[in-house]
């Protein structure tokens, strides 16, 4: 499974033509304690860069963007009851949504783990 990152601090795991998306550990640290998450509806079609989900913390509300274009397969329903999963397991159990990829060439503009770490270190 390949993992990519965006400059907006989303991670995307690719398996075949499906993707799982969430926010990075760095992003959840910046937000603080997560109190609410709204995930997209299954069947929604999103373009790359479109608002996909909302995450609210005690500090701020923030949008989560679609790192690639495609159709939403499922949202992580566990986040409705336990939004703190984003804090405790941001890059595993705290995923936001899964989607199908409509254009795998969109992955080319994303960072790998090494490039993302260098990007975060530069902030």
In a domain, 105, yes or no: yes
Hey, what are 84's tokens?
């703190």
Instruction: Report the domain count for the chain.
Output: 1
* Model confidence pLDDT, tens digit, residues 25-71: 999 999 999 999 999 999 999 999 999 999 999 999 999 999 999 99
Measured in whole angstroms, the distance separating CA 87 from the mean position of its chain's CA atoms is 13
Query: Could you give the CA distance from residue 31 to residue 54 in angstroms, rounded to a whole number?
Result: 12
- Asked whether the predicted pLDDT for residue 116 surpasses 90, the reply is yes
Query: Could you give the CA distance from residue 123 to residue 115 in angstroms, rounded to a whole number?
Result: 13
In a domain, 121, yes or no: no
In a domain, 122, yes or no: no
Q: Dmax of the chain from CA atoms?
A: 37
* Model confidence pLDDT, tens digit, residues 82-98: 999 999 999 999 999 99
Domain boundaries, position 47: 2-115
In a domain, 96, yes or no: yes
CATH label of the domain that carries residue 100: 2.40.50.100
- Asked whether the predicted pLDDT for residue 1 surpasses 90, the reply is no
The answer to whether residues 11 and 89 touch, using CB atoms and an 8 Å cutoff, is no
In a domain, 123, yes or no: no
Contacts of 21 by beta carbon, 8 Å cutoff, 6+ apart:
10, 11, 12, 13, 52, 64, 66, 67, 95, 96, 97, 98, 99
In a domain, 62, yes or no: yes
Closest listed residue to residue 20, CA positions, set 116, 109, 94, 110: 94
In a domain, 43, yes or no: yes
In a domain, 94, yes or no: yes
Closest listed residue to residue 7, CA positions, set 19, 28, 23: 23
**pTM confidence score:** 0.95
């Amino acid at each position: 499974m390949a993992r990519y990152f965006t400059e907006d601090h989303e991670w995307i795991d690719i398996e075949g033509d499906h993707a799982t998306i969430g926010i990075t550990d760095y992003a959840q640290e910046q937000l603080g304690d997560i109190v609410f998450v709204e995930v997209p509806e299954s069947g929604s079609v999103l373009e790359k860069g479109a608002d996909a989900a909302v995450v609210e913390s005690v500090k701020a509300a923030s949008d989560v963007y679609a790192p690639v274009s495609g159709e939403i397969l499922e949202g992580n329903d566990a986040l409705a009851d336990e939004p703190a999963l984003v804090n405790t397991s941001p890059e595993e159990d705290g995923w936001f949504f899964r989607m199908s990829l409509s254009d795998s060439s969109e992955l080319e503009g994303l960072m790998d783990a090494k490039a993302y770490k260098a990007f975060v270190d530069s902030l």
